[in-house]
């Protein structure tokens, strides 16, 4: 079972999985408790615009995605929340417009975009060392930010009005959360691709949320679950010779369903529990 670790690309893949899981667990928890899952889905898909521009400008598409998704995250937040436009309309627009920009840019780029499919659906077994370093840097940024502003993030997530009355910079913290989402998406592109990233961002946190009522524990548990899901999915895809990104996502969704069903059955056993 462990023979797949004999390959260097597999060790790199696992390293990428662990590094991405750290961000994914922390930010996924914030996304789930703030209920900004579809907003995050929009940020994720619009990151494709950055990938396309990366190709067009001849820079690392991941760098393009980082800049572009941070910009679109702030854009979505500003338009939906503070320009008082309907949030779900704005989310849908950014979702498609970002992808459209990516498609145009790739169309304008001479030649063939070699690993386009990998950016869309993940290519964890071909992560170059430079991308590992990028994900590591993103890890440090996310850990540092959330460690410093943990209670402030909790306060705004729980009740924005009270946070405002408490004198917290609510807008800044909102945009900062969206920037963290954008960063997470970029870290997940290599693992599952931009199309599937939203599932890996939210499923571990959604499962942990059912198991603990402590935000810190929820973050840690999400990280552990995310590592477990990525590793298991990767191993399954290896022995079955199927797409790794899609395997990880399906495994995650099935885990969520099984966990939810198991908890319901257990709750039915004890009629008093709520």
Q: Which residues lie near other proteins (CB under 8 A)?
A: 29, 33, 35, 148-149, 151-152, 154-155, 157-159, 161-169, 209, 212-215, 218, 274
Q: Which of 150, 237, 156, 163 is nearest to 196 (CA)?
A: 237
- Of 6, 21, 27, the C-alpha closest to 233 is 21
The distance of closest approach from Cβ of residue 100 to other proteins in the complex, given in angstroms and rounded to an integer, is 35
* Beta carbon of residue 219, minimum distance to other proteins (angstroms, whole number): 9
Q: How far is the CB of 40 from other proteins (least distance, A)?
A: 17
Is 21 or 222 the residue whose CB approaches other proteins more closely?
A: 222
CB of residue 164 to other proteins, shortest distance in Å: 7
Categorise residue 73: left if φ over 0, alpha if ψ from -120 to 50, beta otherwise.
alpha
Task: Please provide the DSSP assignment of 180-202 as one string.
Answer: HHHHHHHHHHHHHHHHHHHHHHH
**Phi, psi of 168, rounded to the nearest 5 degrees:** -75, 145
Name the residue nearer to other proteins (CB basis): 3 or 161: 161
Joined tokens for residue 188:
């997940």
Distance of closest approach, residue 143 Cβ to other proteins, in angstroms: 14
The contacts found for 245-250 with CB under 8 angstroms, 24 or more apart, are 245/121, 245/122, 245/123, 245/124, 245/191, 245/192, 245/193, 245/196, 246/121, 246/122, 246/196, 248/122, 248/191, 248/192, 248/196, 248/200, 249/192, 249/196, 249/199, 249/200
* Closer residue to other proteins in complex, CB, 39/195: 39
CA–CA separation, 55 and 64 (whole Å): 8
Helix 61-77, helix 37-57: angle, nearest 10: 140
Residue 103 or residue 165: which is nearer to other proteins going by CB? Answer: 165
**Quick check: 87 and 204 in contact, CB under 8 A?**
no
Q: How far is the CB of 257 from other proteins (least distance, A)?
A: 18
The widest CA-to-CA distance across the chain, in whole angstroms, is: 66
Give the nearer residue to other proteins in terms of CB position, either 86 or 151: 151
By C-beta, is 59 or 140 nearer to other proteins? 140
CA atoms within 13 A on the CB side of 253: 9
Tell me whether residue 87 or residue 160 sits nearer to other proteins (CB atom): 160
Please state the closest distance from residue 139 (CB atom) to other proteins, in A: 19
């Amino acid at each position: 079972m462990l023979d797949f670790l004999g390959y260097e690309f597999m060790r790199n893949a696992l390293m990428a999985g662990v590094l991405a899981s750290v961000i994914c667990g922390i930010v996924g928890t914030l996304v789930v408790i703030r209920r900004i899952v579809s907003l995050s889905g929009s940020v994720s898909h619009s990151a494709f615009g950055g990938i396309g521009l990366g190709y067009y400008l001849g820079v690392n598409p991941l760098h393009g995605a980082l800049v572009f998704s941070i910009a679109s995250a702030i854009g979505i937040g500003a338009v939906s929340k503070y320009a008082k436009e309907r949030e779900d309309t704005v989310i849908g627009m950014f979702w498609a417009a970002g992808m459209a920009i990516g498609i145009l840019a790739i169309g304008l780029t001479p030649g063939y975009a070699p690993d386009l499919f990998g950016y869309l659906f993940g290519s964890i077994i071909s992560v170059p060392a430079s991308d590992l370093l990028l994900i590591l840097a993103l890890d440090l940024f996310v850990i540092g930010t959330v460690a410093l502003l943990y209670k402030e993030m909790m306060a705004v997530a729980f009740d924005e009005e009270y946070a405002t009355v408490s004198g917290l910079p609510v807008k800044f913290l909102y945009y900062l959360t969206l920037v963290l989402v954008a960063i997470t998406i970029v870290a997940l592109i290599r693992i599952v691709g931009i199309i599937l990233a939203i599932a890996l961002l939210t499923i571990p946190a959604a499962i942990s949320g059912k198991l603990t009522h402590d935000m810190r524990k929820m973050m840690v548990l999400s990280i552990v679950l995310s590592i477990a899901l990525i590793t298991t999915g990767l191993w399954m895809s290896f022995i079955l010779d199927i797409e790794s990104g899609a395997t990880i996502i399906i495994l995650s969704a099935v885990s969520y369903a099984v966990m939810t069903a198991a908890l319901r059955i257990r709750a039915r056993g004890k009629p008093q529990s709520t």
